[in-house]
Amino acid sequence: MKFDIYDFTSFNQWVDKLLYDALPPVWALIVEMTIIGLAFLLFYALVGLFLVYAERKVCAFMQNRLGPNRVGPFGIFQTIADFIKLLMKELITIKNSDKFLFNLAPFIVIIASFMAIAAIPFAKGLHAIDFDIGILYVIAVSSLGVVGVLLAGWSSNNKYSLIGAMRSGAQIISYELSVGMSLLTIIVLAGTMQFSAIVEGQADGWFIFKGHIPAFIAFVIFLIASTAETNRGPFDLAEAESELTAGFHTEYSGIKFAFFFLAEYMNMFIVASIAATVFLGGWMPFHVGGWAGLNHVMDYIPPFVWYFGKTMFVIWLMMWFKWTFPRLRIDQLLNLEWKYLLPINLFNILLMAFVVLMGWHF
């Protein structure tokens, strides 16, 4: 068994061979899928815990204070304590709500983010699903989260939740357009929608550098639009603390609230990893085409370290947005999308197509 930290394909083949030799093919397939599913669940939970802690620490440092520092060294067990508390809370059932939809809504949101994360490459070969329409699949599947939000607002039987859910829904649907179109810009540059091919294509330079101006504009627009889509940062009017109610998840308590909470952080992780993969090269180290010496040095750092580093960088940028800016009102939010981001996006796609046709990229 060759366990190569730089290339997981041989490890995958070894596991595959082991299972198919030991069990009949149907069972082997089921066991394989179960293993991958469990690995993702574990990853999901761990990253969620880590992100909540990271947000509190980053927020604290920006505000000139310490953040969690009592539960465990440097407060690293704070999130675990919070989740134990949420688990022990009473699950309040509402009298006149639609019980089936009420209980289903958090699960839809989590399932949508699960399906999206399955398509992201973590390192060479560490890739659960490798569609040849990878980006389209991810955009399509992350739109399913809206259904969960609207169901949560509707089934709470609370007019403020409904208002909050409607606002959230309008916001998410509008900004999906911008997300899709900024990713379209990079597809024009890369020529393919398959994630592994996109990452391989950045072997001599990341797309944000290769595509200079249009790629940079697409990156900025993607950041803004994805912050809005995950209901974060300056676009969190629907769940703001100083507004009337907590939006669509007002009536949820205990573990169901924890699901929404976790799903929000995981969505942030997913959009950050898409940004890191598509714009910043995924697990590809920092190469400059032609400088073999630099490329060789950069290759020493294992790919998943590169991947996580880039994702954490984008997450840090999103946290920076949230803790600096005041909130936008809902009409200003929609104004921003339809009057500013959409026209710039359309113009950007045109510009990128022109650049690719004329060969003016690196």
Contact 126, 304 (CB under 8 A): yes
Contact 178, 343 (CB under 8 A): no
Q: Which helix (H) or strand (E) holds 287?
A: none
Residue 27 or residue 347: which is nearer to other proteins going by CB?
347
Q: Is residue 347 close enough to count as binding other proteins by CB under 8 A?
A: no
Residue 14 or residue 325: which is nearer to other proteins going by CB?
325
Q: Which stretch binds other proteins (CB under 8 A): 78-86, 187-195, 236-244, 296-304?
A: 236-244
Q: Is residue 325 close enough to count as binding other proteins by CB under 8 A?
A: yes
**Rounded to the nearest whole angstrom, what is the least distance from the CB of residue 344 to other proteins in the complex?**
8
**Rounded to the nearest whole angstrom, what is the least distance from the CB of residue 241 to other proteins in the complex?**
6
Give CA–CA dist 299/85, Å, rounded.
44
Give CA–CA dist 249/270, Å, rounded.
21
Give CA–CA dist 203/198, Å, rounded.
9
Contact 99, 109 (CB under 8 A): no
**Rounded to the nearest whole angstrom, what is the least distance from the CB of residue 56 to other proteins in the complex?**
12
Phi first, then psi: give them for residue 248, nearest 5 degrees.
Answer: -70, -20
**Rounded to the nearest whole angstrom, what is the least distance from the CB of residue 216 to other proteins in the complex?**
13
Q: Which x/- pattern over 48-67 shows residues binding other proteins (rule: CB under 8 A)?
A: ----------xx-xxxxxx-
| Window 273 to 302, contacts with other proteins (CB under 8 A) | none
Q: Is residue 75 close enough to count as binding other proteins by CB under 8 A?
A: no
Q: Is residue 237 close enough to count as binding other proteins by CB under 8 A?
A: yes
Q: Is residue 326 close enough to count as binding other proteins by CB under 8 A?
A: yes
Q: Which stretch binds other proteins (CB under 8 A): 94-102, 112-120, 287-295, 318-326?
A: 318-326
Q: Is residue 143 close enough to count as binding other proteins by CB under 8 A?
A: no
| Eight-state DSSP code of residue 91 | -
**Rounded to the nearest whole angstrom, what is the least distance from the CB of residue 119 to other proteins in the complex?**
31
**Rounded to the nearest whole angstrom, what is the least distance from the CB of residue 159 to other proteins in the complex?**
8
Query: Is the dihedral angle over the CA atoms 150, 156, 157, 160 positive or is it negative?
Result: negative
Contact 120, 270 (CB under 8 A): yes
Give CA–CA dist 105/149, Å, rounded.
7
And the tokens for 178? 């911008």
**Rounded to the nearest whole angstrom, what is the least distance from the CB of residue 175 to other proteins in the complex?**
16
- 3: number of Cβ within 10 Å: 8
Kindly state the number of chain residues that form the binding site for other proteins, as judged by CB under 8 A. Answer: 31
**Rounded to the nearest whole angstrom, what is the least distance from the CB of residue 208 to other proteins in the complex?**
18
And the tokens for 85? 């508390």
Q: Which residue has the tokens 């939740």?
A: 161
Q: Which helix (H) or strand (E) holds 92?
A: none
Q: Is residue 203 close enough to count as binding other proteins by CB under 8 A?
A: no
Q: Which residue from 20, 40, 320, 361 is in contact with other proteins, where contact means CB under 8 A?
A: 320
Which residues make up the interface to other proteins (CB under 8 A)? 58-59, 61-66, 69, 159, 234, 236-237, 240-244, 320-321, 323-332, 340
